[in-house]
């Protein structure tokens, strides 16, 4: 795969400049100069399908995709590589953080740029686009040698923005690795640019013969339009399993009603809720982040309110490359009787654990 932006073209009009967003009535002209500075630092791309969902800049969708002056404010704890990809990069674009799975950064571009992106310092305009041939060869040489790798997670950028031809070539190379059983793609495409989900794209995803998952990223139920639902249904109906990922964001989904609506919508769409991410320490994203205590309380409220099918795993990515850890509330504590267990109403009950631990 050569460098470049093949696969990124689309007949859908995409606004990439502040002037275009002002002309469309999505941004205030008085703030244009400051927002142009933001856009020069962090890429902007708002396709027509996304722009049509924005009622005003401060609504849950506007906050996710329109540049804001707050992005120029950097906090001491923020870092360009907040989850420590670099600490585990074994070949260019290949991250081996956990024993049985690797992350392959196929492309550095997206059809739409989230303002809270944890890779915002390394994706977007001015980047190389697709992983180059030499890097891809090195990644596959590593995978061939490391038979403990059971799953390959393809990310970016957004891997489903790459052309079906390129995706099929990747899948076909993975088919030659018998120890790799699972192929997972992380993408915003099925929700935000659903027209890209075609039979050709699905055939390319499945060309490896592996079990294929797509982790669908959405943060509020209003993103799940009829077109998005049809695109996700097309994937499921053709044998692609879907799981969700959501980032907990202030002003977007920081209340139990919004999270409940989103998780129920996922389940109705045959998407299994998977990760609810605590906001990463990406530069210029402090205005999005909740405290861990706030996140735990929201997850606690979901427990009794929603079916078990709708419960995501609340996780925090430890800065420095140490991986994800569950961050949800704790419901068990030691007491004189053995354990105190809290139910979903907040009541505490004694539990006698008579089994002897064999350590």
pLDDT 10s digits, 131-154: 999 999 999 999 999 999 999 999
Query: What distance, in Å, lies between the first and last C-alpha atoms of the chain?
Result: 50
Please identify every residue annotated as catalytic. Answer: 97-98, 101, 110, 114, 117, 119, 280, 317, 324
pTM (whole model) above 0.75: yes
Task: Give the pLDDT of residue 318.
Answer: 96
Rounded to whole angstroms, how far apart are CA atoms 241 and 211? 8
pLDDT at 98 over 90: yes
Confidence of residue 122 (pLDDT cuts 50, 70, 90): confident
Phi, psi of 183 (to 5 degrees): -120, 120
Segment 261-312, tens digit of pLDDT? 999 999 999 999 999 999 999 999 999 999 999 999 999 999 989 999 999 9
Phi, psi of 51 (to 5 degrees): -55, -35
Are the beta carbons of 192 and 223 closer than 8 angstroms? yes
Q: Write down the pLDDT at residue 126.
A: 64
CB atoms within 10 A of CB 181: 13
Mean pLDDT over the full length of the chain: 94
pLDDT band at 337 (very low <50, low <70, confident <90, very high): confident
| CATH 3.20.20.70 corresponds to the domain 75-328 | yes
Q: Delimit the domains of the chain by residue range.
A: 75-328, 329-359
Give Cβ neighbours of residue 163 (< 8 Å, ≥ 6 apart). Answer: 6, 7
Rounded Cα distance, 295 and 287, in Å: 15
- pLDDT for residue 11: 58
What is the arithmetic mean of pLDDT over 41-51? 95
Tell me the average pLDDT across 97-108.
97
* CA–CA separation, 106 and 4 (whole Å): 12
**What span, in angstroms and rounded, lies between the C-alpha atoms of 34 and 235?**
41
CA 356 → CA 27, 276, 352, 353, distances in Å?
A: 63, 35, 11, 8
Task: State the pLDDT at residue 7.
Answer: 42
The answer to whether residues 152 and 104 touch, using CB atoms and an 8 Å cutoff, is yes
pLDDT computed for residue 355 by the predictor: 80
CA distance 136 to 2: 9
Distance CA 212, CA 1 (A): 21
Question: Which pLDDT band, with edges at 50, 70 and 90, does 9 fall under?
Answer: very low
Question: What was the pLDDT predicted at 127?
Answer: 62
pLDDT band per the 50, 70, 90 thresholds, residue 8: very low
């Amino acid at each position: 795969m050569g460098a470049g932006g093949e696969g990124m073209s689309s007949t859908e009009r995409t606004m990439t400049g502040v002037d275009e967003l002002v002309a469309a009535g999505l941004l205030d002209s008085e703030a244009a100069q400051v927002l142009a500075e933001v856009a020069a630092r962090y890429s902007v791309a708002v396709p027509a399908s996304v722009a049509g969902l924005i009622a005003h800049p401060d609504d849950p969708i506007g906050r996710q995709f329109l540049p804001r002056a707050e992005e120029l404010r950097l906090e001491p704890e923020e870092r360009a590589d907040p989850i420590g990809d670099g600490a585990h990069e074994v070949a260019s674009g290949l991250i081996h953080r956990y024993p049985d799975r690797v992350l392959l950064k196929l492309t550095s571009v997206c059809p739409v740029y989230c303002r809270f992106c944890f890779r915002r310092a390394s994706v977007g305009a001015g980047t190389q686009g697709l992983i180059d041939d030499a890097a891809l060869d090195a990644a596959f040489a590593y995978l061939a040698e490391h038979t403990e790798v059971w799953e390959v997670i393809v990310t970016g950028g957004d891997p489903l923005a790459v052309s079906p031809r390129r995706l099929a070539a990747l899948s076909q190379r993975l088919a030659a690795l018998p120890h790799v059983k699972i192929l997972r793609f992380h993408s915003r495409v099925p929700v935000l640019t659903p027209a890209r989900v075609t039979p050709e794209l699905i055939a390319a995803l499945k060309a490896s013969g592996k079990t294929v998952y797509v982790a669908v990223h959405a943060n509020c139920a209003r993103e799940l339009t009829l077109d998005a639902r049809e695109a996700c249904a097309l994937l499921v109906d053709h044998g692609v399993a879907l799981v969700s990922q959501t980032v907990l964001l202030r002003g977007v989904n920081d209340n139990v009603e919004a999270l409940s609506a989103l998780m129920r919508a996922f389940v109705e769409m045959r998407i299994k809720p998977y990760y609810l991410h605590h906001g990463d320490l990406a530069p210029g994203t402090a205005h999005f982040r909740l405290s861990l205590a706030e996140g735990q309380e929201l997850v606690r409220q979901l427990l009794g309110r929603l079916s078990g099918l709708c419960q995501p795993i609340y996780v925090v990515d430890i800065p420095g490359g140490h991986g994800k850890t569950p961050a949800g509330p704790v419901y068990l504590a030691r007491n004189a009787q053995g354990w105190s267990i809290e139910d979903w109403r907040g009541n505490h009950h004694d539990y006698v654990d008579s089994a002897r631990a064999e350590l």
